[in-house]
């Protein structure tokens, strides 16, 4: 049984109870949640959770294992017996309940959520939660916050540990958001609660509680690296060696690729990685694989992915078609380089899912011939992109044409 498939137990009755805990521990729980803890044969949770509920637990205590999947298997193995899982706050908001529900049917569990740290933080700040950007950086790269650094934005970011706030402040400063107000909210809902606000550039808070969430009121410096929300980002935002799909062509290419939430893109001959990066910026659920043969460009793609806040971009070092073997089937493919090589188009078309989109750009006559041939045999649409930019001609200004681009777009039957 794979991820995303919740299985049913033999009698389909609730045997698993997931209980959200706040910093106040047992004091914040209702009588039924307490009864479930006391009656459980096994109780799973973090060391802190087990300590907070120790006086009620009569069964076995199982601290979370690393990796977490080991504990998930242990919970599933006890199906049909009274089991309790203790979690922080709302178990279905970046919590253990989300992971467990991929393996256990909803009918087999009961859930007693507590307020999430995001809800508690919003209440302390007086912020409307529905108008606030929410980001979990717990166990995840800080760079994920970069696309959300927009003028006037309010962000709540859950960190991993006591070092997270200082690291976040440093990222804000280095990205041109040093005047943003950074508030650290620690141990919310408990006796050790503390709320401290500082300007990111002046951040000096020490002895921070491991359990903390940060709010950011974004203020833009003159040199801030703001990522526009439209497709076709300025070429200057990318590190590149000239091998980049130019912004106007990139915008048309992304439009033709037609990203849909959760889909996987292959960016074949990725160059700077710009197409895959902008694909992933369209929605947090998007996935992309950049395939590139140059070691220097591979390193450059990695740096660009971090700087654009999409560190999850998968980078494959190799050339098509050999490098495509074993990759998960794509929902869309972009071919920006190497498409005229023997076997590349055939391999891509074979791998593409039914209903998937293929977009290929040509600037050479050799690649254009390949696209014309495929369009004649398979159909799809052809687009000729001619762009000219104004530039100095002596003391005057004239139009300097860029190399024309032929674009073939095709949907696999």
Q: State pLDDT tens for residues 4-47.
A: 445 444 455 899 999 999 999 999 999 999 999 999 999 999 99
DSSP-assigned letter for residue 147: G
Closest CA to 48 of 18, 25, 73, 66: 25
Centre a 10 Å sphere on the Cβ of residue 315 and count the other Cβ atoms it contains.
19
Domains of the chain: residue spans and CATH = 16-114 (3.40.1010.10), 118-217 (3.30.950.10), 235-411 (3.40.50.150)
pTM comes to 0.89
Closest CA to 104 of 89, 91, 117: 91
What is d(CA 49, CA 57) in angstroms, rounded to the nearest whole number? Answer: 11
Closest CA to 214 of 152, 166, 284, 143: 166
Distance set, CA 313 to CA 254, 259, 327, 386 (Å) = 16, 15, 14, 30
Mean pLDDT of the chain: 94
pLDDT value of residue 337? 78
What is d(CA 37, CA 14) in angstroms, rounded to the nearest whole number? Answer: 14
Per-residue pLDDT tens over the stretch 198-234: 999 999 999 999 999 999 999 999 999 999 999 999 9
Give the chain's residues under pLDDT 50: 1-5, 7-10
pLDDT value of residue 338? 81
Strand, coil or helix: what is 109?
strand
Output the six-digit token pair for 1: 């049984």
The strand ranges marked E within 231-311 are 264-268, 287-292
Query: Cis omega before residue 90 (within 30°)?
Result: no
pLDDT value of residue 11? 53
Helix residue ranges per DSSP H, 283-393: 295-307, 344-351, 365-378
């Amino acid at each position: 049984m794979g991820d995303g498939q919740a299985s049913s137990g033999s009698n389909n009755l609730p045997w698993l109870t997931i209980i959200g805990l706040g910093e106040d521990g047992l004091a914040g729980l209702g009588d039924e949640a307490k009864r479930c803890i006391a009656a459980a044969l096994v109780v799973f949770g973090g060391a802190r959770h087990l300590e907070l509920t120790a006086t009620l637990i009569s069964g076995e205590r199982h601290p979370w294992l690393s990796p977490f999947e080991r504990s998930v298997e242990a919970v599933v193995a006890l199906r049909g017996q009274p089991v309790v899982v203790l979690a922080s706050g709302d178990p279905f908001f970046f919590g253990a309940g989300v992971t467990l529900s991929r393996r256990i049917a909803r009918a087999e569990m009961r859930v007693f959520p507590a307020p999430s740290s995001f809800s508690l933080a919003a209440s302390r700040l007086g912020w409307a939660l529905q108008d606030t950007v929410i980001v979990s950086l717990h166990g995840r790269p800080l760079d994920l916050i970069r696309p959300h650094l927009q003028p006037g934005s309010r962000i709540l970011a859950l960190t991993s540990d006591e070092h997270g706030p200082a690291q976040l402040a440093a990222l804000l400063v280095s990205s041109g958001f040093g005047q943003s107000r950074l508030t650290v909210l620690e141990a919310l809902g408990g006796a050790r609660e503390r709320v401290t606000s500082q300007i990111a550039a002046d951040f000096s808070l020490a002895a921070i509680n491991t359990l903390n969430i940060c709010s950011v009121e974004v203020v833009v410096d003159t040199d801030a690296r703001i990522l526009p929300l439209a497709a076709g980002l300025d070429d200057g935002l990318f590190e590149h060696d000239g091998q980049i799909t130019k912004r106007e062509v990139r915008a048309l290419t992304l439009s033709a690729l037609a990203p849909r939430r959760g889909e996987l893109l292959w960016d074949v001959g990725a160059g700077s990685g710009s197409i895959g990066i902008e694909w992933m910026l369209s929605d947090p659920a998007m996935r992309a694989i950049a395939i590139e043969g140059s070691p220097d460009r591979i390193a450059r793609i990695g740096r660009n992915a971090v700087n654009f806040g999409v560190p999850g971009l998968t980078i494959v070092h190799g050339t098509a078609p050999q490098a495509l073997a074993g990759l998960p089937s794509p929902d869309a493919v972009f071919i920006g380089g190497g498409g005229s090589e023997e076997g590349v188009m055939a391999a891509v078309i074979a791998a593409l899912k039914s209903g998937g989109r293929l977009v290929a750009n040509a600037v050479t006559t050799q690649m254009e011939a390949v696209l014309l041939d495929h369009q004649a045999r398979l159909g799809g649409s052809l687009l000729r992109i001619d762009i000219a930019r104004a530039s100095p001609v002596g003391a005057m200004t004239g139009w300097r044409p860029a190399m024309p681009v032929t674009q073939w777009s095709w949907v696999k039957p």
